Amino acid sequence: MAYIYKVGIAGAGLMGSGIAQAVSAAGLPVVVRDVSGELVQRGLQAIRKGFEGRVKKGKMTAEQLEQKMALVSGSTSLADFSDADLVIEAVPEDLALKKRVFAELGAATPSSAILASNTSALPISAMSEASGRPDRVLGLHFFHPAPVMKLVEVIPTVRTSQDTLDTAVSFVEGIRKLPVRVRECAGFLVNRLLMPYVGEAIRGVESGAASKKEVDEAMVAFGMPVGPFLLVDTLGLDVCTKVAVVLEHAYGERAKPPASLKKLVDQGRLGMKSGAGFYSYSEAPEFAVGPEAPQGTFRPERLLFPMVNEAAFCLEEQVASPGDIDLAMMAGTGFPQRTQGPLHYADSEGLDVVLSKLKEAGHAPCPLLERKVAAGELGVKTKRGFFEYT
């Protein structure tokens, strides 16, 4: 296992600057590179602003802020990655662009350097081949906001060496984040489970079963930090739509995005960053997803059971272990800790109940879920489900 002494960030945008802040906060030097001086300066300003917020909250001193900023440098030249031990790509979600960046990074960095992508859904294997050193490439998927969110999905490809994986896990732990190893697949783990949850929320409102506000309030009452509509507005509807397209291509009908997503993006309603999304944050009128007629009967399980179903598919494909799935969803989405995660939640509700409700709602259940119910592994009540109970 190697050690990481210097980190490069390819891309000074929202995620790139956030990752750079997290790295420098842990005491490692980091160079942020983008294609123009203006973009680089904007990224450096975002990093400083992030640290200033911590100063205002009393979590660090002004002197410590300057010490951390001294670890950060900006550049428009790939040559400044020539002594980096790790470079994390954080450019827009376009596979052709990312492959081009990885080819450039492969030529500009030492052969020993690890190259990582922060992509949220695109195939890392394709980028690794473009780098010319696929054994030194993997995914390091940070979550927004990167300085705050603890989870990092660590995604090796079939070509990633064990040394690369071990070094990456150690690096993530070293910057005080929580690494969860995920087998490469479309959407990886957290986004793959999150999209059925969001999609069902939108479809429920489209059908008139509930209002946006009713759904969001119900999910917050369940224990989620924000409701699905506010979450999508925060993440950006364009970002969510790109992930949804990747998932639909990989998983077919069960991952088909709701019609409202594309309508909103076509209207330029991208969420908070554009002043309007599912909700309005400016003078723009509200967007009518459906009849907006509260029924008073909305139940959180309508969104949670499709999430559990996709988690079962992930288990069947060995994307991650049951414990890591629950841990990732709590750390990456704020799934309430009292439930211990979606798979523990399903065990407490009863896998027979989950299966019945999925079929009733017209969802195609995962074969693993059907096999567990057929075998009498129903969860807590039978002392065996996704987990064992004593």
Q: Residue 241: which residues within 8 A CB-CB, separation 6 or more? A: 257, 261, 262, 265
Query: Encoding tokens for residue 124?
Result: 């890392």
Four-point Cα dihedral 219, 332, 256, 253, nearest 10? -100
Tally Cβ neighbours within 10 Å of residue 55.
14
Q: How far apart are CA 272 and CA 372, in angstroms?
A: 42
Tally Cβ neighbours within 10 Å of residue 306.
25
Q: Is the pLDDT of residue 44 over 90?
A: yes
pLDDT band at 2 (very low <50, low <70, confident <90, very high): confident
Q: What is the pLDDT of residues 313-347, one digit of tens each?
A: 999 999 999 999 999 999 999 999 999 999 999 99
At residue 167, the pLDDT reads: 98
Beta-ladder partners of 7: 30, 86
Instruction: Characterize the bridge pairing of strands 7-10 and 137-142.
Output: unpaired
Query: Encoding tokens for residue 340?
Result: 């211990």
Instruction: List alpha helices for the chain, DSSP H.
Output: 14-25, 37-56, 62-69, 95-108, 124-131, 162-174, 190-206, 212-222, 228-235, 237-251, 259-266, 301-316, 322-333, 342-349, 351-360, 367-374
Of 68-72, 199-203, 284-288, 367-371, give the lowest mean pLDDT range.
284-288
Q: Is the pLDDT of residue 87 over 90?
A: yes
pTM of the full structure: 0.94
- Asked if 43 contacts 20 with a C-beta cutoff of 8 angstroms, the reply is yes
Mean pLDDT across the chain: 95
| SS3 state of residue 271 | strand
- Asked if 123 contacts 184 with a C-beta cutoff of 8 angstroms, the reply is yes
Q: For the purposes of burial, counting CB atoms within 10 Å of the CB of 177, is it exposed (0-12), middle (13-18) or buried (19 or more)?
A: buried
pLDDT band at 363 (very low <50, low <70, confident <90, very high): very high
At residue 287, the pLDDT reads: 77
Q: What is the pLDDT of residues 138-178, one digit of tens each?
A: 999 999 999 999 999 999 999 999 999 999 999 999 999 99
Q: How far apart are CA 192 and CA 314, in angstroms?
A: 9
Query: Encoding tokens for residue 229?
Result: 């509509």
Q: What is the pLDDT of residues 90-124, one digit of tens each?
A: 999 999 999 999 999 999 999 999 999 999 989 99
Q: Residue 299: which residues within 8 A CB-CB, separation 6 or more? A: 218
Beta-ladder partners of 75: 33
| Closest-CA residue to 151 (of 104, 204, 199, 194) | 194
Residue 153: active-site member:
yes
| SS3 state of residue 382 | helix
Longest dimension (CA), the chain: 62
At residue 142, the pLDDT reads: 97
At residue 294, the pLDDT reads: 59
Q: What is the pLDDT of residues 245-301, one digit of tens each?
A: 999 999 999 999 998 999 999 999 999 999 999 999 988 788 777 766 656 678 999
At residue 297, the pLDDT reads: 73
At residue 376, the pLDDT reads: 98
Q: Residue 138: which residues within 8 A CB-CB, separation 6 or more? A: 114, 116, 117, 124, 128, 154, 155, 156, 157, 160, 164, 165, 168
Q: Residues of the chain with pLDDT > 70: what percent? A: 98
CA 49 to chain centroid: 23
pLDDT band at 215 (very low <50, low <70, confident <90, very high): very high
Q: How far apart are CA 156 and CA 116, in angstroms?
A: 10
- Going along the chain from its start, the domains and CATH numbers come out as 7-181 (3.40.50.720), 190-274 (1.10.1040.10), 301-382 (1.10.1040.10)
pLDDT band at 48 (very low <50, low <70, confident <90, very high): very high
The residue from 89, 153, 301, 377 that is catalytic is: 153
